[in-house]
Structure 1
Amino acid sequence: MNIERIEELIRVHRDGLLKSTVPFWMRHTIDREYGGFLNFLDHDGAVYCTDKPVWVLCRFTWLTALLYNEVEKRQEWLDASAHGIDFIEKHCFDTDGRMFYMVTRDGRPLRKRRYLFSETFGVIAFSEYARATNDEARLQKAKDLYKLLLRYYRNPELLPPKVYPETRRTKGHAMPMILLGITQQLRKNGNDALYDEVIEESLREILDDFVHEDEQALFETVGPNGERLDSPEGRCINPGHAMETSWFIMEEARQSNRPELIPRACKILDWSLARGWDSQYGGILYFVDV
C-alpha cells in the first residue's frame, strides 16, 4: 500500500469519526435530566431504552476526555466527560468499592456481575479525565480502582466461579487483553513498576497461551497453560476481539519502542481478518468456530 492510499484512509476514518460518529453521539446521548448518557439509540437518535450500562458510561467518559486530550481542546468534549464522571461517581459504585453492571436512568442499581469489566472501564474513565484536568483525586480514584480489580483478578477465590474449575480448568482471553489496554491508558499519567509488571504478564499470556501459530488463531478460551480445548468453547475465536488485541500490542510497541512486537501483532490481525471477514454480506463475523 503506497503512502497516498494510507493518507486517504486516514482522512476517511478521521472524517467519519469527527464529522459523523462523534457529533451524532454528542447530539443524542447526553442525559441532561438525570445525568450520564443514554446509550440505546436508534439510527435517528431516538431512545429505545433508558437503562444505562456502566461499561458504556465509562467508555464514553473516557472517549470524550481522550478527544479533548489528543485531538482538540474542545470544551464540549471536556464537559461531556465531566458529566459522565459525575454520574458514575454518584450512582455506579457499590458499597464494597466494586461497580454495577447496569443502572436505571436515574442511577438505581439493576445488575452487578462477577466480571471485572465495569471496573476496567472505570479505570480509563477516571484516568483520562484526570489527565485532561490535572485532577489528582480522580487520578487516585483510577489507581485505587485498578488495584482493587487486580486483587480480585489475582485471587479468583474472592469471586463466585462461573464454572466448576475442578472439573475442567480453563481461562479466558478477555482479562489479559483488557488489562493490557487499560494499563497503557493509566500509564499516560506516569509510569509505575506495577504497570510494567501487568503489561509484561498480559503480553506473555496472550502471545504464549492464547495465540496458536500452528492454527493461525488467537483463541478466546484455553487450558490453564494454553492447552487447546476441543470443545465449542475451545474452538471459538472472536475476530473483532482478536483485532483489538492486535491494536493493543501495536500500541505497546509504539509506547515502549519495541518494534519486535509489530510482526506478532500483524499476524493476529491478518489471521483474524482472514477468518472473520463475511465474504457474503461484508463486515466482521462475531464468532467463528475454527
Structure 2
Amino acid sequence: MANLQTPKFKTKEFLIEHIESIMAFYHPHCIDNDAGGFFQHFRDDGSIYDSETKHLVSSTRFIFNYSIAAILFDSKEYLDAARHGIDYLRNSHLNKSSGGYAWTMKGKVVDDSTNYCYGLAFVLLAYSTAYKAGIDESKDYIDETFELMEKYFWSKEHELYSDEISADWSNVSKYRGQNANMHSCEALISAFEATNEQKYLDRAHLIANNICNKQASLADELIWEHYDSNWQIDWTYNKDRPDDLFRPWGFQVGHLTEWAKLLVILERYIDEEWLIPRAVKLFDDAVEMGWDEKSGGLVYGFAPNGDVCDSDKYFWVQAESLAAAALLAQRMNDEYYWKWYDRIWTYSWNHMIDQKYG
C-alpha cells in the first residue's frame, strides 16, 4: 500500500486491498484438512503454534470471514472454505443428541461442552452469512439455531437471553450479560437480511430496545456489562478483572460503539426515532471517555466514575469504533464522524497493523 495518508482510509481501493491482505495472511494454510475446521493460533509471522485447540467463536468467525470474502470477491475457493468450516461446525462442535455446541475442541475431541449464548450468537451469524454467500443448506441451520436459543436461553419475562447453561441443559447460570445479547442482536439482523423473515428483525429490535434503553436506564444511559438473574446491575462482578477476555469489569468502550453501529444498521429496516439519537450518544460518550489523548487509541474500559480501568488497546475496540464512525458519518452526513474514522484508522495503522507480515 504505497500511499498511507489518512484520506486513503476512506477509499474503496484501500479497504479492498486491506481485506485482501488479511485473507492472504490466513488463506489457505489456516485450513485444517485433517481434523477439519481451521487452525486458530498463529504467531505474527503466520506460523501455527497450536494446531489442536479450536474455539467455537473462532470456528464461526472463520466461516463469517470466508463467506463475506466469497461475496466480495465472487470466489468459489473462499465459498468452499466456508463450507469446510460449516462441516466442522456440524460434525464436531455440534452435539447432535443435545443440540448444543461445544465451546472448545481439541481436534475432533470435545474439550469444553458448556453451552454459551455468546457462542450460539456466532453460530447464527455464521449460518446467516453463509446463506447470503450461497450455501443454501444454511437456511435450515439458521432457524434451527434460533429455535435452540429460544428453547433454552430466551426469557419471556425479561425479554433477553441468559448467558451460560451446562452441557446437558440442566443448570442455568445466574449470571446475565449484555455481551451475549449484543452479539445475538447482530446475528439476528444478519439472519433477517439473509432470509427476509420478520421474526429475526423483531427479535433484534426487542433486544436492542431492552439493552440500549431499559437496561441503560440503570446505568446513566450507558450500557453496563453484568447483571444478576433478574437483570439488575451487578456492579462488583469481576471488579478485580477489568481485562477479562469475555466478561471484563467496567463500561466497555468497544461495546458502546458496537451498539452504536448496530442501531444505525437497525434503522435501515425499522423507522423509530430513538435509534439514531441513541447511536450518537453511545458513540460520543465512548470516544469522549475512551480516547487516550496522550498515546492515541481507544482504551478497553472505564469505571462508573469515569476513570480508565483498563488502558490496554485492543484491535477489536478500534475496529468496531471505526466501523461505527463510518456508518454514523454516512447516516448523519457529518464530517465529525469521518474525523473520528480517520483518527482511529491512523492509530490502528501506525500501532496495530503488522506492516511486515500483514
Q: When the two structures are superposed, what TM-score results if normalisation uses the length of structure 2?
A: 0.68
Partner of 2:152: 152
User: How far is the alpha carbon of 1:143 from its aligned partner?
Assistant: 0.9
Could you tell me how far apart the structure 2 residues matched to 1:34 and 1:227 are?
A: 43
Partner of 1:167: none
**Cα distance 1:264–1:226, how it changes in 2: closer, same or farther (>3 A)?**
farther
SS in 1 for 2:49: strand
Task: State yes or no: 1:178 paired with 2:183.
Answer: yes
Could you tell me how far apart the structure 1 residues matched to 2:34 and 2:278 are?
A: 47
Runs of 5+ in structure 2 lacking a partner?
A: 1-5, 156-161, 240-248, 305-358
Could you tell me how far apart the structure 2 residues matched to 1:175 and 1:108 are?
A: 25
| Paired positions, count | 278
Task: Within 5 Å, give how 1:98-113 maps onto structure 2.
Answer: 98-105=100-107, 107-113=108-114
More helix by share: 1
Kindly provide the amino acid, as one letter, of the partner of residue 56 in structure 1.
Answer: S
Which of 240-249 and 218-227 deviates more?
218-227
Kindly provide the amino acid, as one letter, of the partner of residue 193 in structure 2.
Answer: K
- List per-residue Cα deviations over 1:42-63 (Å, max 9, x = no partner): 1101111121111111111022
Task: State yes or no: 1:162 paired with 2:167.
Answer: no
Task: State yes or no: 1:217 paired with 2:251.
Answer: no
SS in 2 for 1:211: helix
Kindly provide the amino acid, as one letter, of the partner of residue 266 in structure 2.
Answer: E
**Cα distance 1:41–1:122, how it changes in 2: closer, same or farther (>3 A)?**
same
Q: Once the two structures are aligned, what percentage of the paired residues are identical?
A: 20
Which of 9-18 and 199-208 deviates more?
9-18
SS in 2 for 1:67: helix
Could you tell me how far apart the structure 1 residues matched to 2:22 and 2:143 are?
A: 30
Runs of 5+ in structure 1 lacking a partner?
A: 164-169
Could you tell me how far apart the structure 2 residues matched to 1:229 and 1:87 are?
A: 37
Task: Within 5 Å, give how 1:35-46 maps onto structure 2.
Answer: 35-46=36-47
Kindly provide the amino acid, as one letter, of the partner of residue 153 in structure 1.
Answer: F
Could you tell me how far apart the structure 2 residues matched to 1:115 and 1:53 are?
A: 12
User: How far is the alpha carbon of 1:10 from its aligned partner?
Assistant: 4.2
* Counterpart contact for 2:62–2:82, Cα < 8 Å: yes
**Cα distance 1:193–1:18, how it changes in 2: closer, same or farther (>3 A)?**
closer
Q: When the two structures are superposed, what TM-score results if normalisation uses the length of structure 1?
A: 0.83
* Counterpart contact for 1:209–1:227, Cα < 8 Å: no
**Cα distance 1:232–1:92, how it changes in 2: closer, same or farther (>3 A)?**
closer
Could you tell me how far apart the structure 2 residues matched to 1:288 and 1:130 are?
A: 38
User: How far is the alpha carbon of 1:181 from its aligned partner?
Assistant: 0.5
Could you tell me how far apart the structure 1 residues matched to 2:236 and 2:229 are?
A: 15
